[in-house]
């Protein structure tokens, strides 16, 4: 078949506007996974409820994300990306407004669940919109744009939340989403197009009944381990076993039906499978470390939540500096020449945390985190880009859903594992002091110097587990595509295109195809790649 090689197109004004809308919407939902954490103590006092109850303000949001994410791919196919994007924004805005006027802990938890139903769809839909609009030639560059809120959101959340709680009512943690959401809605209506073909596939009810509750049960059990540091409690064990059983049941179901909620047949694609393995381990690496770092600053060093967030900011700055460049390099050279370098940088920069004490220089740690961020900027988005390299236009929504589920599971597993290792280390290092576990793990208690050093040693030990996780992540990255999206093979779906196989240059923005073969065109109809169906060939 004929082949052609060309430099990747620059981001057009249309594509840049789409990316801006997606980033604006995504950063709201990502911020809300961490922004509430610093207000839990205040919320508990205002509503006169214990920590075990108010913790559901966070847990309920995470569970609603787990329930709704699996539905996103089907919803985008059935109703279109733009309508579902705007619906998710409306749900998120309404949920945020209701959270702001909550009159009790139960009402706040209920409204957080509603907020999460909208927030859970925002990121995977945004990724689908960008991947479709960019096409294979610019996928690395455009995915690096959405990587900024993915990395900065969890870091900025505690800082912003701490500033709001310290100077205003906690209700502004939720009200702040309303004007941002309204602006995003207005821009979405103007800049996003809804002309993609809709797929009238039936809803996989059995798949939903198995996958969403299974994922929610698994996330709940692992989040509880992150809070208690124990795998042995009855609720954790029951929900973990139930979650695994339901998800295994879904796998069996999905392999025997025509249109499953999550298309596991995508894993027949080598690049997609390798990217998901990398995404699982990178989700564990990123969010596992994000669990440890603020706790180290708060528990071992006695910093407030917003101070801990500021001390973590150098990592986000480092990542943001290289993300755009890494996307450009990925489009030209392929992720295999980018991601392993980033993994090595991350591993080397994490090693100093294996030697931390309660008095380690904050300047040294900030510099180390900045370097770690540079490595992070070279890894996460190129991995995500590689998953889309040779998928058809029609496969992108369900691929985005799968990537988000895999990343969330990796994050939950690592957080639970690190929590257990950390708690056991703290108990072993401080047993001679006779302090209770709850006092040692409290972020509101200033520890005496001798106990703080023992607790810091427990963190240092746990950080070595983080180093090991990063090293493990290096292995699958060696199997990522070695070439960028520059090697393109022209293919024409049966019954479409011209006799010479070049297609019709006037069809930009359409989605054609026969027997499931999709055209790779720009969503905006003008900023996409050439209208001929292009499928990247990875070498």
Domain ranges of the chain: 3-203+261-488, 204-260
Query: What angle, rounded to 10 degrees, do the helices at 56-79 and 205-228 form?
Result: 150
CA distances (Å), origin 469, targets 272, 312, 420: 21, 20, 15
Contacts of 534 (CB under 8 A, 6+ apart): 135, 136, 137, 488, 489, 490, 491, 520
Which pLDDT value is given to residue 129? 81
Residue tagged 């401080």 (tokens): 430
Q: Residue by residue, what is the 3-state secondary structure of 328-365?
A: HHHHHHCHHHCHHHHHHHHHHHHHHHHHCCCCCCHHHH
Please state the three-class secondary structure of 20-32 as a single string. Answer: HHHHHHHHHHHHC
CB 116 within 8 A of CB 59: no
Prediction pTM value: 0.73
**Cβ 141 vs Cβ 486: under 8 Å:** no
Q: Residue 98: is it exposed, middle or buried by C-beta count within 10 angstroms (0-12/13-18/19+)?
A: middle
User: Is the distance from CB of 8 to CB of 486 less than 8 angstroms?
Assistant: yes
Task: Write down the CATH number for the domain with range 3-203+261-488.
Answer: 1.20.1250.20
Contact 459, 296 (CB under 8 A): yes
**What's residue 323's pLDDT?**
79
Cα–Cα nearest to 311, from 326, 322, 321, 300: 300
> Cα angle vertex 339, ends 336, 340, to 5°?
85
Q: In 3D, which of 465, 469, 462, 471 has the Cα closest to residue 344?
A: 471
pLDDT at residue 486, as a whole number:
39
CA distances from 482 to 77, 310, 388 (A): 31, 37, 14
DSSP conformation class of 48: T
Positive/negative CA dihedral, 46, 49, 51, 57: negative
| Cα separation of the two ends of the chain | 16
Residue count of the chain, please give it.
Answer: 539
Q: Helices 40-47 and 56-79, interaxial angle, to 10°?
A: 110
**Per-residue pLDDT tens listing for the chain (539 residues):** 444 444 444 567 777 788 888 888 888 877 777 778 777 778 888 888 876 677 788 778 878 887 888 888 888 888 888 888 899 999 999 999 999 999 988 899 899 989 988 888 888 888 778 777 776 666 666 666 666 666 677 667 777 887 887 788 889 989 988 998 899 999 888 888 766 656 666 788 888 888 888 888 888 888 777 666 677 778 888 888 998 999 899 999 988 888 888 888 888 888 888 989 988 888 888 878 877 888 888 888 888 777 777 888 888 888 878 877 777 777 777 788 888 999 999 999 999 999 998 889 989 999 999 999 899 888 877 888 788 777 777 777 778 788 888 888 888 888 888 888 888 888 887 764 544 444 445 555 567 777 888 888 889 999 999 999 898 888 888 888 876 543 433 333 333 333 333 333 333 333 333 333 333 333 333 333 332 222 333 33
* Residues with Cβ within 8 Å of residue 466, at least 6 apart in sequence: 285, 288, 289, 292, 350, 353, 418
Q: What is the pLDDT of residue 455?
A: 87
Half-sphere exposure (CA, 13 Å, Cβ side) for 527?
Answer: 24
Contact assessment for residue 100 and residue 174, using Cβ atoms and an 8 Å cutoff: yes
Residues in Cβ contact with 111 at an 8 Å cutoff, skipping those fewer than 6 apart: 95, 98, 99, 102
Cβ atoms of residues 188 and 82 within 8 Å? yes
């Amino acid at each position: 078949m004929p082949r052609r090689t060309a430099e990747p197109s620059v981001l057009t004004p249309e594509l840049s506007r789409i990316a801006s809308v997606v980033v604006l919407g995504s950063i709201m939902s990502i911020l809300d996974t961490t922004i509430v954490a610093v207000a839990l103590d205040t919320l508990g006092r205002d509503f006169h409820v214990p920590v075990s109850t108010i913790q559901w303000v966070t847990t309920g949001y995470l569970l609603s994300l787990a329930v709704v994410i699996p539905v996103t791919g089907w919803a985008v196919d059935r109703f279109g990306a733009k309508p579902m994007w705007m619906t998710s924004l409306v749900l998120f805005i309404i949920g945020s407004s209701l959270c702001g006027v909550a009159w009790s802990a139960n009402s706040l938890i209920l409204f957080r669940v509603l907020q999460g139903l909208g927030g859970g769809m925002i990121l995977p839909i945004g990724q689908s919109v960008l991947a479709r609009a960019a096409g294979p030639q610019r996928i690395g560059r455009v995915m690096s744009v959405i990587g900024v809120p993915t990395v900065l959101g969890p870091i900025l959340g505690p800082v912003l939340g701490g500033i709001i709680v310290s100077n205003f009512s906690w209700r502004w943690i939720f009200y702040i989403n309303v004007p941002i959401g309204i602006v995003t809605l207005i821009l979405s209506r103007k800049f996003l197009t809804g002309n993609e073909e809709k797929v009238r596939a039936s809803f996989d009810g059995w798949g939903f009944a198995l996958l969403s509750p299974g994922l929610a049960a698994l996330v709940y059990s692992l989040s509880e381990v992150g809070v208690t540091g124990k795998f042995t409690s009855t609720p954790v064990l029951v929900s973990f076993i139930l979650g695994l059983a339901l998800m295994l049941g879904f796998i069996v179901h999905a392999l025997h039906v025509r249109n499953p909620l999550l298309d596991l047949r995508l894993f027949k694609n080598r690049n997609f499978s390798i990217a998901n393995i990398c995404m699982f381990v990178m989700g564990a690496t990123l969010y596992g470390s994000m669990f440890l770092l603020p706790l180290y600053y708060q528990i071992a060093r006695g910093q407030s939540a917003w101070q801990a967030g500021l001390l973590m900011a150098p990592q986000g700055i480092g990542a943001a500096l290289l993300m755009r460049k890494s996307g450009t390099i990925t489009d030209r050279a392929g992720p295999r020449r980018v991601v392993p370098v980033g993994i090595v940088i991350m591993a080397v920069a994490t090693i100093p945390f294996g030697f931390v004490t309660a008095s380690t220089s904050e300047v040294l740690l900030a510099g180390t985190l900045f370097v770690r961020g540079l490595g992070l900027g070279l890894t996460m988005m190129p991995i995500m880009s590689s998953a889309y390299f040779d998928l058809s236009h029609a496969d992108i929504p369900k691929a985005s859903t799968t990537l988000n589920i895999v990343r969330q599971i990796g994050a939950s597993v690592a957080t639970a594992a690190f929590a257990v290792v950390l708690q056991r280390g703290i108990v072993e290092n401080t047993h001679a002091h006779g302090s209770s576990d709850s006092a040692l793990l409290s972020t509101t208690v200033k520890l005496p110097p001798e106990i703080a050093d023992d607790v810091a040693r427990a963190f240092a030990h746990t950080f070595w587990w983080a180093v090991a996780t990063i090293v493990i992540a290096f292995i699958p990255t060696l199997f990522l595509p070695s070439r960028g999206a520059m090697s393109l093979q022209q293919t024409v779906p049966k019954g479409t295109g011209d006799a010479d196989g070049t297609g019709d240059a006037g069809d930009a923005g359409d989605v054609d195809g026969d027997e499931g073969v999709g055209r790779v065109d720009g969503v905006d109809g003008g900023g996409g790649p050439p209208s001929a169906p292009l499928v990247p060939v990875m070498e």
